[in-house]
Amino acid sequence: MAVELRGVSKTFGAIRALVGVNVVFEAGRVTSIEGANGSGKSTLLGIIGTLARPTSGQVSHGDLGRTRADVRKTLGWLGHDSLCYADLSGRENIELAARLYGEDPDHAYRRASARFDLTAFAERPLRTYSRGQRQRVALARALVHGPQLLLLDEPTTGLDAKSMASLAEVVREEARGGSVVVVVTHDRAFSDAIAGARVELERGRVL
């Protein structure tokens, strides 16, 4: 199982965000996407996750599905903004995600709580959480349906060393479980800790 991009380009008017990208993201391995601001990292992640369509070139998601709807059923997404509901508790955010994916909400929460150690704060509104606590809930929510494609966009922003270490271990676990894991990051130390492969972009081209 792999996600493969062949000759993928993406333009926004006169701006060329990606130019002739050829890359394979393999299951069972964490791949980091690195580069300066404006190099095309988030655009590439959006195309992998079907949130954007390439201007030209081909994207194959292999066994993950042929349609956008099929791929999105297998997709877990974690951004540098949690995108969780601030007035819901952490538990309610996780249970809501479970229902949307047809999972048992109580079982999903108990599993997430044990894995991410949420008990101490899970019943409070998310708006009262620290950055690290919000990220733990967001990651638990992204994994609630056992995704085979996990995409993370600058997941370490604002995290302390302990939270980063916990995040790294979860990311490695997902890869060991056979998922395709792709991480956009500026953090070279975090990349060193998790990545089995790197894709470096410069002005939309793979170096």
pLDDT of residue 106: 96
Would you state the structure tokens that stand for residue 149, as one six-digit string? 């494609």
CA dihedral (97, 101, 104, 107) positive or negative = negative
Closest listed residue to residue 71, CA positions, set 52, 84, 85: 52
Q: What is the mean pLDDT of each run of 10 residues along the chain (207 residues)?
A: 93 94 95 93 94 94 86 90 92 97 96 93 95 91 95 87 88 94 92 93 93
pLDDT of residue 97: 96
Report angle CA 109, 45, 116 to the nearest 5 degrees.
20
pLDDT of residue 31: 96
pLDDT of residue 80: 76
3-state DSSP assignment of residue 123: coil
- The single-letter code of the amino acid at 105 is P
What are the structural domain ranges in the chain? 1-74+147-207, 84-146
Count of positions (residues) in the chain: 207
CATH class of 1-74+147-207: alpha beta
pLDDT of residue 158: 78
pLDDT of residue 143: 95
Would you state the structure tokens that stand for residue 65, as one six-digit string? 């599905």
Question: Distance of CA 165 to CAs 143, 159, 168, Å?
Answer: 18, 10, 5
What's the pTM? 0.92
Dihedral angle, C-alpha 125, 187, 46, 94, nearest 10 °: -20
